[in-house]
């Protein structure tokens, strides 16, 4: 068998797909040759297969650095459902005994998902050092770059970790990384010879529509109107969980569709239930925050509505890109009102510490000569959230002010570090404000929305006929789409439902 055949065999056997999506095979072949690869593939193009298949086929273990615990857990669940049992997500929620067991058996896993924060732990580093690591994957690699929309300081330490692991080949993946971010990734990973595989992110089958409303009531009325005409799998994105909950309740009053909400504060059982009901067509509409969607692979989402717009275009492209993964005609609709402009501003200030916070931390440090280690105390003393704290701690370590939470610098170093960190806060704020401005500019574009959207990321795009965007003549009224039939398979009293659930009287297919 030649190499191509082996790969396609593996794809069929382990994932059940008949053929590769654009980019997958090219990236996999380069990885198997031991090259360092930077892969930019649009949302919904099957990024994870690019490392999951090599991980299975190569000897040794593959490490996947991923920013979100929930995302890792979803991936591992999905792999296990596909009968790939040798995957594990190392995470901070493990009990000490679970953790011990997992670490002891770590070399038996082909795929090890881990967060950049956990990778900093000495115990884990020591364990990984002794193992045969065949590939080091950095998912959502744009987090490395301060020009990326989700800057995570701990991502900057990954080059050192790769060194510690005897420099295995690196695969850096992202769905959205414009030129300057790509440059940052390659430079910060210190792999100048990285092979680039860049694929366009524009999606021909998604029509873009923007509609301005005066307030939330008008938005809800518009959504009711649209959903009463189109019964299709729908995601509605909100900037807060309260808004998602409230709107879900309001929509349920007027619509026959089955509607639920989803956000990061649901208990895990509920999160999986809602997610899987949607996959399983037991649910038609999900009102959610950006916690929903990563790792969800529903091919036939037809409509993605933004009740609130995200604070950057990259986030929008990712979320809208969850529509129409099967290639069929789908729509992204953004409803915005003038009030919405204030929401992303608040996000920006919530993600970074203020200079006032900074001087308080410095004052505390010079008096106590150490920082509290427990997260509870940090929140209590400094009134910072996790994102703000992560940023600050990274800066303090990076400027050699603290080590293991202890002050190691003298007063002159402290003063100069204070100025540098202040600059870093201002820079990062400016980057974020610039991204927000790009978003706002785009919302007010008068020409083709598609053209204005993608010009920020790539030299050209494909222009579909007819259903391009609301500025090129597309209206929802003309949208031709297959409607879902809302079935009611789960009615009856509890005795009947229980009987049906437990398959009483059902033929036994396994025998």
Partner 1 sequence: MLLDYILLIHFKQIKGERTDAAIFHILKGKQSIQTVQDIHIFNLEKFYGAARFLNKKQFDGRVENLRVTEKIKEQAETNQFAVTQKGIDWLKENKSAVPINYFNGYRYDRTASEFYERLLLLIQTFTNSKMNNFSFIPVISNRSAENWVKSFYGKTIGSRQEVLPMLYKELAMLLSHSSRRESEIFVDRLSGYNVYGLSINQLATAYGLENEDVSLMLTGVIHHILSMVEKETNKYPLMGHIIQDLINTSALSHSAAATLYLLNKRYSIPQIASRRQLKDNTIYDHIVEIAYNNDQFPVTNYVSKDKQDLIIKTIQHAQTLKLKEIKKSLGDEFSYFEIRLVLAAYRHLLKIGDTNE
Q: Which of 162, 304, 472, 476 binds Zn ion (CB under 5 A)?
A: 472
Q: Indicate which of partner 1, Zn ion, none lies near residue 82 (CB less than 5 to 8 Å, by partner kind).
A: partner 1
Binding of Zn ion at residue 469 (CB under 5 A)?
yes
Give the whole-angstrom CA distance, residue 389 versus residue 394.
Answer: 8
Three-state SS annotation for 280-318? CCCCCEEEECCCCCCCCCCCCCCEEEECCCCCCHHHHHH
**Cβ nearer to Zn ion, comparing 226 with 472:** 472
The only residue of 277, 422, 429, 484 in contact with partner 1, by rule CB under 8 A: 277
Per the structure block, which two tokens stand in for 493?
A: 């009293």
* Location of structure tokens 């509607």: 259
Distance of closest approach, residue 209 Cβ to Zn ion, in angstroms: 10
> Residue 390: which residues within 8 A CB-CB, separation 6 or more?
117, 152, 153, 154
- Strand-pair category, 87-89 with 206-212: unpaired
Q: Which is it for strands 234-237 and 206-212: parallel, antiparallel or unpaired? A: unpaired
* Residue 367 engages partner 1 in binding (rule: CB under 8 A): no
Cβ atoms of 102 and 76 within 8 Å: the answer is no
270 binds partner 1 (CB under 8 A): yes
- CB of residue 259 vs partner 1: minimum separation in angstroms? 9
Stretch that binds Zn ion, among 69-77, 87-95, 125-133, 444-452 (CB under 5 A): 444-452
Closest approach, Cβ 316 to Zn ion, in A, equals: 16
Any idea what the Cα angle at residue 313 is, between residues 454 and 225, rounded to 5°? 100
Q: Which residue, 256, 247, 254, is CA-closest to 286?
A: 247
Contact between 333 and partner 1 by CB under 8 A: the answer reads no
Query: What CA–CA distance (Å, rounded) separates 12 from 335?
Result: 41
Pick from Zn ion, partner 1, none: which does 2 bind, CB < 5 to 8 A by kind? none
Is 213 within 8 Å of 286 (Cβ atoms)? Answer: no
> Stretches 186-194, 216-224, 408-416, 461-469: which one binds Zn ion (CB under 5 A)?
461-469
Q: Which two tokens stand for residue 11?
A: 């794809």
Question: What residue 465 binds from Zn ion, partner 1, none (CB within 5 to 8 A, per partner kind)?
Answer: none
The residue among 480 and 489 lying less far from partner 1, judged by its C-beta, is: 489
Q: Could you tell which of Zn ion, partner 1, none binds residue 472, using a CB distance below 5 to 8 A set by kind?
A: Zn ion
- Note the residues at the interface with Zn ion (CB under 5 A): 448, 450, 468-469, 472
- Note the residues at the interface with partner 1 (CB under 8 A): 73, 77-78, 81-83, 98, 245, 249, 252, 260-261, 266-270, 272-274, 276-277, 280, 282, 489-490, 493-495, 497-499, 501-504, 506, 508-511
């Amino acid at each position: 068998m030649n190499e191509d055949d082996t790969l396609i065999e593996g794809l069929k056997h382990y994932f059940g797909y008949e053929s590769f999506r654009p980019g997958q095979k090219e990236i996999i072949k380069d990885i198997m040759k031991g090259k360092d690869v930077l892969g930019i593939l649009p949302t919904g193009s099957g990024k994870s297969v690019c490392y999951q298949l090599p991980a299975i086929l190569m000897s040794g273990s593959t490490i996947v650095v991923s920013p979100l615990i929930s995302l890792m857990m979803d991936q591992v669940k999905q792999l296990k459902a596909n009968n790939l049992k040798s995957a594990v997500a190392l995470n901070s929620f493990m009990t000490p005994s679970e953790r011990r067991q997992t670490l002891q058996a770590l070399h038996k896993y082909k795929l090890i998902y881990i967060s950049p924060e956990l990778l900093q732990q000495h115990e884990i580093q020591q364990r990984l050092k002794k193992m045969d690591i065949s590939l080091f994957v950095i998912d959502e690699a744009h987090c490395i770059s301060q020009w990326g929309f989700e800057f995570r300081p701990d991502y900057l330490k990954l080059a050192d970790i790769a060194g510690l692991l005897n420099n295995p080949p690196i695969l850096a993946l992202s769905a959205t990384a414009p030129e300057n971010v790509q440059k940052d990734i390659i430079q910060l990973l210190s792999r100048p010879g990285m092979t680039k595989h860049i694929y366009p992110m524009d999606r021909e089958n998604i029509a873009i529509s923007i509609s301005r409303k005066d307030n939330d009531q008008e938005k809800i009325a518009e959504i009711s109107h649209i959903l009463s005409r189109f019964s299709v799998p729908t995601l509605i994105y909100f900037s807060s969980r309260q808004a998602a909950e409230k709107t879900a309740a309001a929509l349920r009053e007027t619509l026959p569709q089955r509607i639920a909400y989803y956000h990061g504060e649901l208990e895990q059982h509920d999160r999986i239930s809602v997610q899987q009901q949607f996959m399983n067509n037991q649910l038609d509409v999900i009102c959610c925050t950006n916690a929903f969607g990563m790792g969800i692979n529903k091919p036939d989402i037809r409509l993605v509505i933004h009740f609130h717009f995200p604070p950057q275009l990259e986030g929008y492209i990712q979320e809208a890109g969850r529509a129409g993964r099967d290639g069929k005609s789908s729509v992204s609709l953004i409803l915005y009102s003038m009030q919405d402009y204030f929401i992303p501003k608040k996000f920006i200030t919530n993600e970074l510490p203020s200079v006032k916070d900074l001087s308080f931390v410095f004052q505390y440090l010079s008096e106590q000569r150490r920082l509290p280690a427990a997260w509870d105390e940090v929140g209590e003393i400094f009134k910072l959230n996790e994102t703000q704290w992560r940023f600050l701690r990274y800066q303090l370590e990076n400027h050699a002010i603290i080590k293991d939470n202890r002050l190691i610098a003298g007063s002159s170093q402290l003063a100069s570090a204070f100025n540098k960190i202040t600059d870093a806060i201002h820079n990062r704020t400016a980057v974020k404000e610039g991204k927000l401005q790009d978003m706002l500019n785009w919302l007010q574009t008068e020409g083709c929305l598609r053209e204005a959207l993608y010009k920020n990321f790539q030299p050209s795009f494909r222009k579909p006929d007819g259903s391009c965007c609301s500025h090129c003549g597309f209206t929802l009224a003309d949208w031709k789409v297959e409607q879902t039939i809302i079935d009611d398979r789960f009615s009856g009293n509890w005795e009947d439902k229980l009987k049906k659930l437990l398959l009483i009287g059902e033929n036994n297919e396994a025998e």
